[in-house]
Structure 1
Amino acid sequence: MKIKLGVVMDPIQSINIKKDTTFSILLEAQYRNYSIYYMELKDLYIYLNKAYADAKIIELTKNKKKWYKIYKKETILLYDLHIILMRKDPPVNMEFIYSTYILEKAEKSGVIIVNKPSSLRNFNEKIFSTKFPQFTPNTLITRKKKKIKKFIKKNKEIIVKPLNGMGGNSIFRIKRRDKNFSVIIETITKNELKYCVAQKYIKEILKGDKRIIIINGIPIKWCISRIPKLYENRGNLAAGGKAKPEIVSTQNMSIAKIVGNFLAKNGIILAGIDIIGKYLIEINITSPTCIREIENFYKISISSILLNVLEKKILKKI
C-alpha cells in the first residue's frame, strides 16, 4: 500500500531546509515512497459537508536553491489521505482554528492528524505547562498591569511574553525597578487588551533552554540545549541561540515522561517541551522544531521514529 501523506504548512518556498523540521519529516516520507500532498491553510475547504483541499503533489530534494518540485495540482477529499501533518506555524489565530474544524472532518473519517485538531484548539502552548504546576516556575497569566507589578515585586525579576508568539519574539526580561516596565507591559498587553504570561526569571537559562522531543508519549533521549548569545536573554535558535547537543538528564526525563503520558492520551503525537534548569516552561504542539538539529548531531532519525509510529497506527485501521 502506498501511503498518502498530506502536510499543511507555511509557504514551502519560504522555509530554511537546513533547519526545518517539516522538511526533515517529508524527506523521510519521500524515502519511504509516500505520495506527498502539500497544502496551505487557504487550500482547505468544506463543500456539501465534506472536507477538501486544493493540493499539490510535490517531490523534494536537498538542493539549497530549489528544494521542491510540483508535479501535479489536484483537488482532493481529505479523507482519501492516510496522514495529515498540521505544521502551520503560530500564531494560532481564528484562521488557524477554523482550519482545525476542517481537519477534524477528515479525522472523523479515519485520517490520522498530527496533532489532533481538538487538542490544537484546547491547549495553548504558553498556558499548557500550567497543567503541571509541580514542574513550572511562578507563573501569572493576565492582561492587567497592576497584577504584573505585584508579581514582579514578589519575584524581583521576571520574563514576560505574549501568549501567541514563537521563536523568541517579544520576550522581555524585567527587573523590579526597571524604568521600562510600564511601556513593556503596555506593549505586550496592547494596553490591557491582550493576555500575556509572566514567569519568574530562571538564571539557569544561561546554561541553556532544553528542547526535548516527545513522540507518541515517549521522550527522545537526545535533546538540544539552546544557549543564549552574550547579552541576550533568549535561547531560541531563531533569536541567535547556539545549539548544543545533550543527553536528557534523569530529572528532565522524569518530567518529559509525565508530560508525554498526558500528551499521548490527548492525541498529541509530536511535541517539543522546553525546560530551563528543573522547570517546565512551554509545551509546543503546533509545529515543534529542533528535530533536524538533533539529527545533525546524532546518528538518529527522529523523523523515522515518527513515521514508524504513524505506520503502525495506519495498520491498526486496516
Structure 2
Amino acid sequence: MLGGSSQSLRLAFVLDPLDHLKAWKDSSVAMMRAAEKHGHDVYAIDAATLCWRRPEPGHHAGGVFGEAVHLHLRPDDHDWFRETRREWLPLKAFDAVVMRKDPPFDFEYLTATWLLERAEADGVRVFNRPRALRDHSEKLAITEFDHYTPATLVARDAHQLQHFIDEQRDVILKPLDGMGGSQIFRIHRNDPNRNVILETLTHDGARTVMAQRYLPEISAGDKRILLIAGKPVPFCLARIPKAGETRGNLAVGGTGVAQELSPRDREIAEALGPILFKRGLLLVGLDVIGSHLTEINVTSPTCMVEIRQQTGFDAAGAFITALEHACGIA
C-alpha cells in the first residue's frame, strides 16, 4: 500500500457520467486516484441512477440504491480508468459515499440530496452531508458571514436592483444556481444595455439574482481556498481573468496561479472552517476576491489538481485522509 490507512474502505463517489469528467483537471478524479493509492476500493455511481425502493420481506432489500461501477484508476489522463464490474448496490454496502455531482442545483440535484438523506437515516456516511448541501446555497451562504462580504444585494425586484446599481456604480450580477462563470454580467451605472441585462437575468422579475459591488482586485485573481475538515489548505488557486474579461473562472479562460494564503485569506478560512465542518461539510471551497468573501462552494469544489501541480501539496490525498478519520480508521 502506498499511503493512508491499513484498513481498506469501500468508497462510492456520486458523480456526473464518467465520460463527462476531464481527468487532467477534475478534483473528483484526483480524489478517486488518491483513494485507490490509499488502498481503498473505488466505485462511481452516476447520480441519475440513484433510487429508493420499499423493502419486501423475503424478496427485495430496501433503501437507496445506485448502479455502482468498480474502477481501477490509471495515470493516463486520456484513458484514466478501467471498469472492472458494474452492479446495482445499496448505498449501505459502502463505508462512505462522497457526493460530487456538479451543479446546477436544480430539482434533480435536490432529489438526490433527499435520497442521500434517506441513506443517511439507514446509517450510511455521506460527505458532504445532504442536509448541509441543501442548507448552504453557494451564493446565498455568504449572507451568514456578511462582515467578510462586499456590498451585496439578493433580489428579483427591478427597482431594488436598479437602485443598487445606481448606488454602487459598477456591479457584478449572477444567477443563484450557476457555476463556472455562467451568466455572470458586469454592469456599469451608465451601461446602455442595463435594462435588458436585468430583464434577461431575472426572467422579467421571475428569478432572484445576486448583485455585488465590482471588486477591481479581481485583476489579481478570484482565489479558491479549500477547507478540508474545517482547516484551510495552505495554498489557494488565484484564477486570473484573461484580457478583456471580468471573470476569473478557469471554465471561461482564466489562468490558475497557486499561491500561499494571505493573512486575510487565513482569517476568513479559520473563522468559517470549524463552523462549516461542524455542519457536515467535509470539503468546502471559499471564493475570495481581494479581502472579500464572494461565494461558499459546497457541491463539488475543485482546483486540487492545479494546486498539486504548482506546489506539490496533495489536497486530494488530504481529503481522503480526512475521510478515513471520519470513518474512524485513521
With the length of structure 2 as denominator, give the TM-score of the two structures: 0.93
1:31 to 33, 37, 50: 37
CA distance in 2, matches of 1:14, 1:96: 17
| 1:173-199 alpha-carbon deviations (Å, 9 max, x no partner) | 100011111111111111111111000
CA distance in 2, matches of 1:4, 1:109: 17
Identity between Structure 1 and Structure 2 (%): 36
Give the aligned residue type for 1:309: A
2:28 paired residue number: 22
2:120 to 103, 107, 110: 107
The reply on whether 1:188 has 2:188 as its aligned counterpart is: no
The reply on whether 1:97 has 2:97 as its aligned counterpart is: no
Q: How many pairs align?
A: 317
41-50 or 239-248, which moves further after superposition? Answer: 41-50
Give 1:123 shift.
1.1
- Secondary structure of 1:273's counterpart equals strand
1:245 paired residue number: 258
1:11 paired residue number: 17
2:246 to 223, 233, 243: 233
1:202 paired residue number: 215
The reply on whether 1:168 has 2:163 as its aligned counterpart is: no
Give the aligned residue type for 2:80: W
Give the aligned residue type for 1:141: V
2:89 paired residue number: 76
- Which stretches of structure 1, 4 residues or longer, exceed 6 Å deviation after superposition? none
Is there any run of 5+ residues in structure 1 with no aligned partner, and where? none
- Listed as ranges, the matches of 1:1-318 within 5 Å are 1-48=7-54, 50-315=63-328
| 1:185-223 alpha-carbon deviations (Å, 9 max, x no partner) | 111111111111000111111111111000011011111
- For the 8 Å contact 2:23–2:78, the answer to whether it is kept is no
- Secondary structure of 1:134's counterpart equals helix
Give the aligned residue type for 2:228: I
| 1:61-90 alpha-carbon deviations (Å, 9 max, x no partner) | 122332122111111110111111111110
| 1:131-181 alpha-carbon deviations (Å, 9 max, x no partner) | 101000111111122111000111011000000000011111100011111
Is there any run of 5+ residues in structure 2 with no aligned partner, and where? 1-6, 55-61
CA distance in 1, matches of 2:235, 2:209: 31
- Secondary structure of 2:258's counterpart equals strand
Give the aligned residue type for 2:292: Y
| 1:99-145 alpha-carbon deviations (Å, 9 max, x no partner) | 11111122233332110100111111000111101000111111122
- Secondary structure of 1:132's counterpart equals helix
Give 1:243 shift.
1.0
Give 1:306 shift.
1.0
- For the 8 Å contact 1:211–1:274, the answer to whether it is kept is yes
- For the 8 Å contact 1:17–1:62, the answer to whether it is kept is no
- Secondary structure of 2:110's counterpart equals helix
CA distance in 2, matches of 1:215, 1:277: 22
CA distance in 2, matches of 1:244, 1:158: 25
- For the 8 Å contact 1:137–1:200, the answer to whether it is kept is yes
CA distance in 1, matches of 2:326, 2:224: 26
2:3 paired residue number: none
199-208 or 99-108, which moves further after superposition? Answer: 99-108
CA distance in 1, matches of 2:127, 2:164: 37
Give 1:316 shift.
6.6
Give 1:272 shift.
0.5
CA-based RMSD of the aligned residues comes to 1.3
Give 1:52 shift.
1.1
- Secondary structure of 1:133's counterpart equals helix
- Secondary structure of 2:147's counterpart equals coil
